[in-house]
Structures are given as C-alpha cells and as structure tokens.
Structure 1
C-alpha cells in the first residue's frame, strides 16, 4: 500500500481529510478571511456569531459528538467567554477550535495572534508548519481533547491553508461517543482551577514534550539554532542553522527547548505575527527575534530569516521605524460600481454629524471618494459606538452585522432612551464573506423602535431627505435601506 496519500494536497484539504478521519459530526463557523473557504469545504454550519458557534459545539461535545469551530482571528474575542470557562468546566467528546489568523491583514481590521488565547484560557495550542503537520495536529488535538476533556486550539494562516504537501496514510481514528461527566460540579470554581493546574496542564505539557510533531534538525557545525512554529518553521529549513520546530506553542516543550538552547551559542526565534514564544524565552541572553529587532513583527519571509541569521551576533538591532505601509502604496478595493447603496453613502457624507460604521462593505466608504463613515470598531459595533456620541449621530450597520452582535446595542439604546439614528443596510447576505444568508430582523426592529423604509437604488436627494428625517426625530430611530448585492447574487467573493 502506498504510504502517501493526497500528494500535492493543500492545507485546506488536510483539514477536510482530518475532519473525515476523526469522524467529526458537528462543525460550526462564522465566515471570514481566511477560514471561509475551509469552512465551506468541511460543510460547516454558519452561526450568527462565534460565541454561539462555540456554544453549539460545546453542547454537541457534551452529548457525545466530536465538534469543530472555525473562526477568523477577531472571532476569538467573541468566543472567549465560553472558551475560558470550558477549560475548567470540562467537556465530553473532542472539540477543536480551528482559528485562522489573517497575517499581513487582507480582510481584517487588526492583526492578531490567536495563540495568546491558549495562554489566557490555559488550553493547548498547536501551530502546524505544513499541510501534513496540520492534518496530524488536528488528529492529535482530538485525541488530547478527549483524554483531558478540554477544547484544543489549532492555529492556521493563509499561507498554510494554501501550501501544498503530502500526507502520510493515516491510522484509523474512531469516534468515542464520550459524553460529559458531572464530576466538576463537586468542586468550587477555585477547586476547578486547582485541579486544572495540578492535573490537566501537566498532562498537556507532557503531550507537548512527547509530540511526534516536534521536529529537530541539527547542523553539527552550526552555532546558531532557530526555534520556530507555524509556517515560518517550513521556511527555516536549509538556512545553515539547526532547527527546532515545536508543535505546541502552549504549553511549550520546555525540556526540549532547554536542550536545544544549551547546544547553541545563539538562538533566533521565528514566529508570526507576535513574539509569543520569544517573550517566554526573553530571560535567556542567547535569544534573538522580534523583541531584539532581528526580525520584523507580523508576516515573516525567508529573506527576513536570512537577514536575521546574518545579524544574530548583535545583541540588539534598531527596529525599522517610519516605514509604514499605506493604503496608497498597497491599494484597496472600493465599493462596487453597481452597489445599490452608493446614493446612501453619498448622502451620508453631506450630514454634519458623526457616523459610526460596521466591518462590512461600509468600511470601504471611509476613504475618498465617499468619506461617509468616520469610525469602524468592528463587526456589530456601529450602534453601540453611535450611542456614545455627544449628540445624535448615525450608526450604519449591515443586517448580518446587526444579527452578529449589533442587536444587543440596539436593545440597550432603546432601554436607556439614548439618541441614535440607525441605518440598516438590508441586503439579506454577508456580502464581504461570500454572500452567506443573513436573517431578516425587520419585524423585530419595528417592534423596538420607530422604523422607516427606503428601497435602493434611489435618487440621492430622496435618500438625504430620509436620513435627515430620521435624525430629526427624538430617541432611537431606524431607517431600513433595502437593496440587492449583485456580487452575492452572482456568487462572487473578494
């Protein structure tokens, strides 16, 4: 039998194969770059937000089904509440959170290092280097999740998901049907944390040390060693230095790292995007990396590693300052020419009031030629932000953003009798992430606050009149602006 399967398979294919081989039954997601395509490939069910997605997975796990949650990096912020609690609460069957970090952000408002959530929640985090390691990491994650009865985080990046590689013939991995046990209710919250630190984390540390996914390549004459995780580990091979590729970034395999450090004069830590590993090794004077200025923050290229190795004898390098990527330099995607909401964006720019937007298509109106929106603090944030304005302003939010996390802010505004004008862009889809269906909350909104409607496209003057009328009314007012997204109708994605 051929020991290799799927020669040339991408990271996305490795996820799909691992889900099948691990017999994962419940898969939830909230679409967003870079995990949308992977979520579609594994048949994930779209949830309104990441907290709900994880809660569904926790319920499935408790009743004996293996589960997976796919989320973009910013989604980790929403699911953090149940994630942190689940660590000491315990679960049933295996549960993996597959998080995609958008490095050198293409579709995100912030560059985040999701590995830090493992340290926050005290949950294991695997950071695979290539598609084969990604497949094996997922299988190992389910095994560890069930043995320790905790969720396990696996971090992926766009380059890992698009990379090609070969997968070894997998061993059978059958479903356990393991359900939740009520033993944790015999302990106080303090007692659960004591148990977690005394019993669970030591087993996670042992798994990290013994993982067959750790890789050590020793160059006998090399004075410099590279400690790496994730995709940079695959870039660090063949550079003339020894290499330790760690499978787990939390907890780290400390004994393996200590042994590797001791046999080299200098150590370069290669990781993305933040110095997560390096910061834990900072007291070691041999260590170089982002904190020492030898490597740049964010995305790493092979050329960065080569330069870092050349400069590694220096104890500290001056960080490059004043060279910041601009929109003009990189370029950007504007509003589609056939977007029905263009008259609305133009009319908004004429209002002499602050405008809070949302992390949907409306974020593309912050720049010329529209400059319609002033503030965008995340998906679902527009209503809450506008509620804090000194005087009545505008919140522009999409229907998916409202369902995701904006509805609570609308309810709060009504409850607290705040002054805010909400413009709901109703197109029935999450247009930026592939046109996934958004729920119709019109009747609920009409029950909460005075609501008017306008169908787009329309004459700019008519739209401006509707906006000024909504602003003039006291209290919470809503304008539902309805239009069809042509790209979503055509099945296109940015």
Structure 2
C-alpha cells in the first residue's frame, strides 16, 4: 500500500513508543508534525528542552522543526551530546529546498559535525520509517540525541510500502530492525567527570558506535564494480542517481560519513560525482581525493537536484569551466504572497508605509508587507528579531511583531530594550494564531506586556490608516519605549504545510 511521510513517521513513532512529541510550525514540517500528534511549543529551544526532560525521565521523545529552527535549539542540542540523555531523543529537521516558505536555504546536515551527533538522511517515506527507528536505536546506544534531515522533496514523496527499496542503504542496516523496549533514565554518574572528561568519554564511546552504524547503512549498486565514473549519493538525489544506470554508493548517514565504504568506492573510480542537496556537504569532505565533481566544481547547481541536472553534469565532465549560475530569482517572477485583502491589520501596515523611518519586522505575516504595494517593512532578520533590531537603530526605532513571534523570542528583545532604556516604538499585532502556518493558537501575553509596560496602549481594530499613522507618529516624537497592542481577528489563516 502506498505510504506518505506523515503515515511513515507516525507508524515509526508508535512502533518506537515515542511519548513526548513537540514541534514548532513552519514550512515544510507543519503537516508532518501535526499528523504525528506533536504538541506545539513557543520556540524550538523550548521544544527540545521539553523533550530532554522527557528523555531524562525515561520517555522517548521527538522534536520536529524547520531548518532555521535548528539554529534556535542548537545550544542545548550541542550540550546534550556530552551531557548525555536518558531514553532516545530524535530531532527531525525539515530542510526547505528552494526555499519556498523560508528566508534562507540551509543544510541541516552541517549540525552533525558541529554537535558531534549522528545525522540520518532518508530519501523517501520508507527510508524515513527506517531512519526513525534507527535514530532511536543509535540515540540510546550513544546516550545522546540523533538528527534526521528530511528535505521538502522527501516530504512530498510516496513509497510503495514500508520496506526499503532496492538500493536503499537501510536495506543493509540491522539497527532499525532491532530497537529495544527503551525506558532508560538519565544516569547522573556523568557528573563524576569534568567537562573535558565528558568530551573524552563521548569521543571514546560514542564515535566508534556511530561509525559502526554508519558503515552498516550503506548500499552499492552494482556491488564492487570499478571504472571511469561512479556516483556517491545521499537523501532524495540517490533515487535520481540510481535511475542513470551508473554505479551508485548510497549512504544513510550524513554524519559520520561511512569512511571505509566511501574511500574504497573512490579508489575504484577515476571520477566520482556527488549527488546531494542542497549544498556540497559530502563533496566538501571528499575534495582531497582529487576525484570528485559536484557543486564546488561547478557541475551541479545549488538547491534542489533533478535527474536532468545530473545528466547535464555528466555531459560536461571534460569541461573544466564551471557552469554559469542562473540569474537570481526575482520576486516578480515567482508566485505572489501578500497581505490578505481582508486582513484587519492592513490599515496598520498602510500607516507604517507612510512613516519615513526604518521599520523592523519579523518573519510572520508582516514579511509579506515588504514589497509593493505596501512596502511597509524594511528589515526582517528572523522570527522575533524586530524589537532587538529596532532598538539598535540610530534614530528612534519602529518595530512591528506578531504575537507568536513575540512569544517565540521577541519578548527577550523587549526586556533588553526596557533594561537599556532604548528609544523605540513596538507595535505588537495580536491575532492569537500563527496565521502563516495553519492557524495554531498562540499564547496570550497581554498580562506579561502589562507587567513590563504599565502604560501599554491598546488598539482594537478596525481603525483607519490615518488614525494609526497619527498615533504612531506621536509615540515616535516622545522619548522612551512605547508598546502598542493592536488587536484583531485573522479571517483566514493559511493552511498548514
């Protein structure tokens, strides 16, 4: 029976007995996390911390985030490697290739070497099912979290069933087939070691275990051949590579790289193309061989890799001149997202567009007001960043932020601005939902704002753009920090993706 990523993930989690499931909505993981029965957290760091607590008390846990969320949870994630955990803990990172619903294309596989943790890179839903079970197995062996990178291509794929396809690296691995009952709790004897000692222990115990697991999850089709050209592949591009009829070595783990198999494969071919996405992660580790081609050699484009890209690269193997990169994509050439016509906050954004100061926004709905016809927002450095950014502007700053972004991380910027006595105006848009990611309910921070800012200004929509412009200009004219809480109801939150 055909199976998609949502069912594959849920079945694997149920099979593994995963109790605590946390997520932060965002493309491309929202529908995946919701289908798995995950509970929303205000930010990724909090989601991971919640799951670390579950793990320490003997309950297996899952954290689902989009690729940019990996940056938010990286502090406790890195520490957890040497700190150790209890029951298995898996972080599933959804990489937005393109990107379609993110400000940045990012390769989450890089968090493997940064944290020292294992990273699995499944190619299709059947691989995802195996990867989840394998991740819990390896997590409990090394007493540290495991990472699964699931790209937006995988999250739109379908497998004929749960059994790994021919050529899948999971067809050779036994770890996912033999997951124990689990239930291990945190062992506080780790505190008998110093910080240096904990690092030494991790290198001595975890690294060999991870390398063994990585080396066992490798597939070569056909086996032990040799010649002028071979392909090393990881993730969804491995399926495209297999269709070319060339020898392909496919790895289940991006970190650690299965070095014995990779070096042996390199020794048997004159040239090896690396098929991966979105960046040259494996390729950069293999450059010293002098045999590999891919993105760094100019043969493959960055981002999503199609079969046609691989074919084009093969045609120019003898060409030492790199491929010419395509022109940067313009917003006018892509599908258009803009503020909804029925949005109750549209007059507010119209008012902001008339005020001649830099406006810092966040990565929620407000980011859609950065282009004509509104052009209301100038600076968007990430979800929850607007207050901190505005507090650093040369003249009195203006920040506009959604209520979910405020809860996610923006509240820290407000606390800092008040503590440092910064001059700025903060406009909080309160619609009580995460409107860009499916309309999930968000926490009401009104009482928190009132505690921090006793002279909080309430504005209930609808109001005219002229009224709002006059009010904001008045607040810009006086010193100190002003906070305006603009309240309205989102008529039609975007569907979850």
TM bucket (normalised to shorter chain) is over 0.9
Comparing 470-479 and 101-110, the one that deviates more: 470-479
Question: Contact 1:66–1:175 (CA<8 Å) still a contact in 2?
Answer: no
How many Å apart are 1:221 and its aligned residue? Answer: 7.3
- Report the counterpart of residue 173 of structure 2 in structure 1: none
- Report the counterpart of residue 436 of structure 2 in structure 1: 432
Comparing 328-337 and 219-228, the one that deviates more: 219-228
Check if 1:152 corresponds to 2:146: yes
Deviations 1:233-269 (A, max 9, x none): 1111121311011000100000000111111111000
Deviations 1:373-420 (A, max 9, x none): 000000000000000000102100000000000001100100110111
- Report the counterpart of residue 3 of structure 1 in structure 2: none
Distance 2:318 2:263 in 1: 20
Aligned pairs for 1:40-55 (under 5 A) are 40-55=34-49
Aligned counterpart in structure 2 of residue 177 of structure 1, from 172, 183, 200: 183
Comparing 147-156 and 463-472, the one that deviates more: 463-472
Aligned pairs for 1:378-389 (under 5 A) are 378-389=382-393
Q: What CA RMSD, in Å, does the superposition of the two structures yield over aligned residues?
A: 1.5
User: When the two structures are superposed, what TM-score results if normalisation uses the length of structure 1?
Assistant: 0.95
* 3-state SS in 2 of match to 1:363: helix
Check if 1:200 corresponds to 2:206: yes
Aligned pairs for 1:348-427 (under 5 A) are 348-427=352-431
Aligned pairs for 1:4-153 (under 5 A) are 7-153=1-147
* 3-state SS in 2 of match to 1:418: coil
- Report the counterpart of residue 226 of structure 1 in structure 2: 231
How many Å apart are 1:11 and its aligned residue? Answer: 1.9
* 3-state SS in 2 of match to 1:328: helix
How many Å apart are 1:472 and its aligned residue? Answer: 2.2
Question: Contact 2:97–2:152 (CA<8 Å) still a contact in 1?
Answer: yes
User: How many matched pairs?
Assistant: 483
Distance 2:342 2:194 in 1: 58
Aligned pairs for 1:257-406 (under 5 A) are 257-314=262-319, 316-321=320-325, 323-406=327-410
- 5+ residue gaps, structure 1: 1-6
Distance 1:95 1:317 in 2: 45
How many Å apart are 1:183 and its aligned residue? Answer: 2.0
Question: Contact 2:301–2:325 (CA<8 Å) still a contact in 1?
Answer: no
* 3-state SS in 2 of match to 1:249: strand
How many Å apart are 1:451 and its aligned residue? Answer: 1.4
* 3-state SS in 2 of match to 1:477: strand
* 3-state SS in 1 of match to 2:376: coil
How many Å apart are 1:51 and its aligned residue? Answer: 0.3
- 5+ residue gaps, structure 2: 165-175
Provide closer, same or farther for how the CA distance between residues 125 and 226 of structure 1 changes in structure 2, counting only shifts above 3 A. Answer: same
Structure 1 runs of 4+ with >3 Å offset: 169-175, 219-222, 491-494
Distance 1:172 1:290 in 2: 37
Distance 1:109 1:238 in 2: 32
